[in-house]
Structure 1
Amino acid sequence: MRRSTRYDVGDRENDGENASAGAPCALARIFVFIGTLAIAALSLIPGSLRPHTELPGRAEHFSIYAAVSFCVALGYVSRRQRLLICLGLAAASGVFELLQAYVPNRSPSLYDALASAAGVAAAQISWAAAAWIWRQLPDRTPENRKGFRPH
């Protein structure tokens, strides 16, 4: 029997039915919006103004895009919505890289765009694997436990 909870991690085919799981879903959607704005801003400001971490550049790309993609997985139940948003995010990484040709002290890089797209894909694949594992676990609701007797 398939487990069904309010915050189900499974891939549903409903394309929008029960697409809202309450506060966690709404918060994740806000993080998607803020994360995407942050990516756009950091991608298009001059290199001298951009903050740098201790990570290599491609690791920065992979990490931030994976984080936003993971928020997409948390915030959108519909597989179709997640796919469209993640494809848009991956395409945006390429557009941002192309636009860097016009930003002082920045240069476009195909490898940076690929690292960003890999981050998007890795987060979605990880989410799908976690959802599959979750669905394989036995249903532990009290009604389905062996020997359960209601009061």
Structure 2
Amino acid sequence: MRQARKVMRFPKTATSVEQWMRVAGWIGLGLILIVSLVPGPERPHTGLSGQMEHTIAYLMTATAYSWSSSRLQERLAWLAFLSAVSGGLEVCQLVIPGRNGQVIDWAASSFGASIGTILGWLARTIVSQAGERRLSG
């Protein structure tokens, strides 16, 4: 009697990319938490304005989360979550030595998360359509 050979199946490329983007989002969020909660003198500085640092950090994190999400509701939930986290971190900074929580920083973070959500959706759409075209002919 002949045994059926087990065939190793690899995940679809899109699924693999989605998984990596979700991991990148969690890494981004972890880095944001660490950098936001250390005392002022210990925080690394990029040389950019504080609001630009906020915008870029949340833009990159939201782009990863948005790319990893297949539904609009999930993307909007990540956007709301990141905006809420940003607001919470600004409040926490009020009691951290050398830090000051500011509404303008929360706004910059939320703006970056909004733009990142749109960029992640666009990137996922473009990559998906290119993959479909490649498969169809």
Q: What TM-score, normalized to structure 1?
A: 0.72
Code of the aligned partner of 1:56: S
Give per-residue Cα distances to partners, 1:12-68, cap 9 Å, x unaligned: xxxxxxxxx322111111111111111111111100100000111100000000000
Unaligned runs of 5+ in 2: 1-11
Question: Which of 92, 96, 111 pairs up with 2:104?
Answer: 111
Q: How far is the alpha carbon of 1:96 from its aligned partner?
A: 0.2
Match of residue 42, structure 1, among 12, 35, 55 = 35
Q: Deviations over 1:97-136 (max 9, x none)?
A: 0110110000110000000000000112234455677899
1:29 aligns with 2:22: yes
Q: Which amino acid aligns with 2:19?
A: A
Which residue pairs with 2:117 in the alignment?
Answer: 124
Kindly indicate whether residue 90 of structure 2 is the aligned counterpart of residue 97 of structure 1. yes
Q: Secondary structure of 1:84's match?
A: helix
What stretches of structure 1 of length at least 5 have no aligned partner? 1-5, 8-20, 145-151
For 1:1-150, what aligned pairs fall within 5 Å after superposition? 21-129=14-122, 140-141=133-134
- Give the Cα–Cα distance (whole angstroms) in 2 for the partners of residues 22 and 142 of structure 1: 16
Alignment-mate amino acid for residue 62 of structure 2: S
State, as a whole percentage, how many aligned pairs show the same letter: 30
Flag as ranges the 4+ runs of structure 1 deviating above 6 A: 131-137
Paired residue secondary structure (1:31):
helix
Separation in 2, partners of 1:107, 1:131 = 36
Give the structure with the higher percent helix.
2
Distance 2:43 2:20 in 1: 27
Aligned Cα RMSD in Å?
2.4
- The one-letter code matched in structure 2 to 1:91 is A
* TM-score (normalised: structure 2): 0.79
